Amino acid sequence: MKLFNGISCLFACGILVTCGIAEAISYNQVGNSQPNNNYKHPPNIQFGKSCVQGKPYKGYILSVATGYDREDPYRIGVSVAKDAKSNEFYWIKYTDNTLLGKAFLSNALYAASSGQKIYAQCEHTDNEISTLWIGPDAW
């Protein structure tokens, strides 16, 4: 038991010393830094207008994110493109705290990481993706 207490004491002291060093380094770097005026904003990604009810979207998923949309903390967003110049952003109809939302999230992540073609259908005027097919024969 004494050995365990000694090891845990050494571990705790090591953490405190490491945190103190990291804090001193970060304070020194922040205190002496100048603003970077060369920052370039990423290109604007427009909210999707190509996928509307009755007109399916054919393309590729570039990125997937979960985040806030107004007051809903569980929204899934995807950036899709028909080609390299036409990035558009769409919300998925289902939230990531539901079973269907989790299935959409995993399928969208697969499509983004594998580069597979997608075929998506949207509902109403909100341009939310409600149906998603993935694979080489999607369209």
pLDDT tier at 41, thresholds 50, 70, 90: very low
Kindly state whether residue 91 falls inside one of the protein's structural domains.
yes
Within a domain: residue 24? no
pTM: 0.61
Percent of the chain scored above 90 by pLDDT? Answer: 12
Instruction: Answer yes or no: is pLDDT of 7 > 70.
Output: no
- Please check whether residue 35 lies inside any domain of the structure: no
The answer to whether position 82 is within a domain reads yes
Mean pLDDT computed over 59-84: 80
> CA angle 82-85-91, nearest 5°?
55
Domain total for the chain?
A: 1
Question: Would you say residue 126 has pLDDT above 80?
Answer: no
CATH code where residue 107 lies: 2.40.50.340
CA angle 123, 126, 132 (to 5 degrees): 40
Residue 67: which domain range?
Answer: 46-134
Q: Is 31 or 46 the better-scoring residue by pLDDT?
A: 46
Query: How buried is residue 113: exposed, middle or buried, by Cβ count under 10 Å (0-12/13-18/19+)?
Result: exposed
48: nearest Cα among 131, 130, 127: 127
Q: 40-44, 52-56, 88-92 — which is least confidently predicted?
A: 40-44
